[in-house]
């Protein structure tokens, strides 16, 4: 069975990370809620392709992302709207806008399909970034699994101030942002536990159990967020 | 973590490069985060080795895990256009202004709090950790 391994790293990697990454890769390959397994793996391939896309580079360098026009260097048969979403979320997330999101919807990209794209792109970016940070090559993408997406849309979602509808409730918005596609929330939770903390420990400022203390972890988190110009 | 003085300029990049910031080996951690995001392989190799030498291999792995976690979280937050949670938005008016993060494009997703909410929030700020803990307990994810 396919498994992500970090044996090539110059340092030993605790086992919960490759185990969680392997499960994330298995979910990536399987049919999702709005996309097939093949489409989800194509979204992952486009996520990686954004790094060498000339239009993405030009936009990233421009004062306004709208100043650069043209076609993305695409590696799939996904729609133009899907490719635009994947490349922009991957390459320039800090300058996305509600108008941009609304434009994608007007091109036929449904809100739930879009949320699943956000989940897949962010997962692939994160696992690739982890590998790069410890000095190992990107993992090969998994073989897509057959089957149809479930197309189940939760009813307990509504307008809670985000571009996309999401669950209400006491959790922080970022924990509910993907709730239009519950499978992506579960994926977020499982990766969050091994990369950072579980949702129940995030607000415990004394939380430990890692080789870094909480202040060191928050410095890393804050610096990455600021470099990406993430307001949240 | 509470009660320690840290230089928040290290987070926004306004601190002195390489300077300590109140966090143990903070300058090395900042260099590691910056090299990861910049996709500068040579700088990342240097930062990785410096971090491993200073804090050990387990800390290097944890640093990689945290930085890559936030590469994920920023895309979720900015890709879905979520606003800052209302209590946090009200309590952080001053610190956001001081750090200059109100200029980020995604700030447009968060409506400014009313003057009353901001005043109350300043008064209640010391209770924030307790409020957040209660909110988390109340809102733990349920099976759908």
ipTM of the complex: 0.96
Q: Which residues contact A144 (CB under 8 A, 6 or more apart)?
A: A29, A36, A37, A38, A40, A41
Q: Touching check for A224 and chain B: CB below 8 Å?
A: yes
Q: Which residues of B touch A127 (CB under 8 A)?
A: 68
Listed residue (A16, A209, A45) closest to A125, CA to CA: A45
Helix (H, G, I), strand (E, B) or coil at B140: coil
A50-54, A132-136, B45-49, B83-87: range with lowest mean pLDDT: B83-87
Yes or no, beta carbons of A177 and B56 under 8 Å apart: no
Pair A181, A119: CB distance under 8 Å: yes
Nearest CB to B81 within list A132, A162, A172 = A162
Count CA atoms closer than 13 A to A36's CA, side-chain side.
10
Burial string for A92-111 (b: 16+ CB within 10 Å, else e) reads bbbbbbeebbeebeeeebeb
Nearest CB to A220 within list B66, B79, B133 = B66
Residue of A nearest to B61 (CA): A13
Q: Which residues of A touch B21 (CB under 8 A)?
A: 219
Average pLDDT over residues A103-107: 97
Asked if pLDDT for residue A24 goes beyond 80, the answer is yes
Q: CA A170, CA A175: separation in Å to the nearest integer?
A: 10
Q: CA B51, CA B67: separation in Å to the nearest integer?
A: 13
**DSSP string for residues in B32-91:** HHHHHHHT-HHHHHHHHHHHHHHH-HHHHHHHHHHHHHHHHHHHHHHHHTPPPPHHHHHH
Of A197-206, B57-66, B83-92, B120-129, give the range with the top mean pLDDT: B57-66
Helix (H, G, I), strand (E, B) or coil at B15: coil
Q: Which residues contact A156 (CB under 8 A, 6 or more apart)?
A: A167, B144
Burial of B38 (0-12, 13-18, 19+ CB in 10 A): exposed
pLDDT in tens, B69-101: 999 999 999 999 999 988 888 888 888 888 888
Listed residue (A215, B1, B19, B2) closest to B10, CA to CA: B19
List, as ranges, residues 57-86 from B with C-beta within 8 Å of A: 57-85
- Looking at CA atoms only, how far is residue B71 from chain A in angstroms? 6
Q: With cut-offs at 50, 70 and 90, classify the pLDDT of residue B1.
A: low
Q: Which residues contact B23 (CB under 8 A, 6 or more apart)?
A: A215, A216, A219, B6, B10, B29
Q: Which pair of tokens denotes residue B84?
A: 């800052």
Asked if pLDDT for residue B18 goes beyond 70, the answer is no
- Looking at CA atoms only, how far is residue A223 from chain B in angstroms? 4
- pLDDT averaged over chain A? 94
Burial of B126 (0-12, 13-18, 19+ CB in 10 A): exposed
Burial string for A30-66 (b: 16+ CB within 10 Å, else e) reads bbbbbbbbbbbbbbbbbbbbbeebebbbebeeeeebe
Pair B30, A221: CB distance under 8 Å: no
Yes or no, beta carbons of B140 and A172 under 8 Å apart: no
pLDDT of residue B139: 44
What percent of chain A has a predicted confidence (pLDDT) above 90? Answer: 89
């Amino acid at each position: 069975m396919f498994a992500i391994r970090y044996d090539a790293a110059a340092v030993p990697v605790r086992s919960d990370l490759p185990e969680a990454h392997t499960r994330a890769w298995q979910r990536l390959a399987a049919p999702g809620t709005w996309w097939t397994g093949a489409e989800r793996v194509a979204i992952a391939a486009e996520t990686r392709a954004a790094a060498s896309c000339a239009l993405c580079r030009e936009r990233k360098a421009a004062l306004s992302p709208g100043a650069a026009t043209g076609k993305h260097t695409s590696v799939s048969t996904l729609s133009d709207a899907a490719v635009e979403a994947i490349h922009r979320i991957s390459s320039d997330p800090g300058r996305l806008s509600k108008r941009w999101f609304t434009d994608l919807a007007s091109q036929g990209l449904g809100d739930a399909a879009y949320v699943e794209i956000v989940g897949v792109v962010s997962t692939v970016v994160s696992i690739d970034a982890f590998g790069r940070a410890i000095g190992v090559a990107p993992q090969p993408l998994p073989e897509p699994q057959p089957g149809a997406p479930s197309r189940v849309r939760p009813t307990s979602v509504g307008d809670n101030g985000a571009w996309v509808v999401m669950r209400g409730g006491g959790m922080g918005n970022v924990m509910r942002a993907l709730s239009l596609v519950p499978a992506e929330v579960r994926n977020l939770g499982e990766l969050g536990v091994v990369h950072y903390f579980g949702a129940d420990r995030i607000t415990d400022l004394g939380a430990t159990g890692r080789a870094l203390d909480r202040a060191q972890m928050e410095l890393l988190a804050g610096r990455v967020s600021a470099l990406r110009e993430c307001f949240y | 973590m509470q009660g320690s003085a840290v230089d928040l300029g290290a987070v926004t990049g306004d601190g002195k490069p390489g300077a300590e910031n109140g966090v143990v080996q903070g300058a090395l951690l900042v260099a590691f985060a910056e090299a990861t995001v910049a996709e500068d392989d040579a700088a990342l190799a240097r930062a990785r080795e410096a971090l491993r030498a200073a804090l050990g291999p387990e800390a290097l792995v944890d640093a990689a895990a945290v930085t890559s976690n936030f590469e994920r979280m920023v895309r979720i937050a900015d890709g879905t256009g979520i606003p800052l949670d209302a209590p946090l938005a009200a309590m952080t008016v001053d610190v956001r202004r001081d750090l200059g993060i109100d200029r980020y494009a995604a700030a447009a997703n968060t409506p400014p709090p009313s003057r009353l909410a901001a005043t109350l929030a300043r008064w209640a700020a010391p209770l924030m950790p307790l409020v957040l803990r209660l909110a988390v307990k109340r809102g733990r994810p349920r099976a759908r």
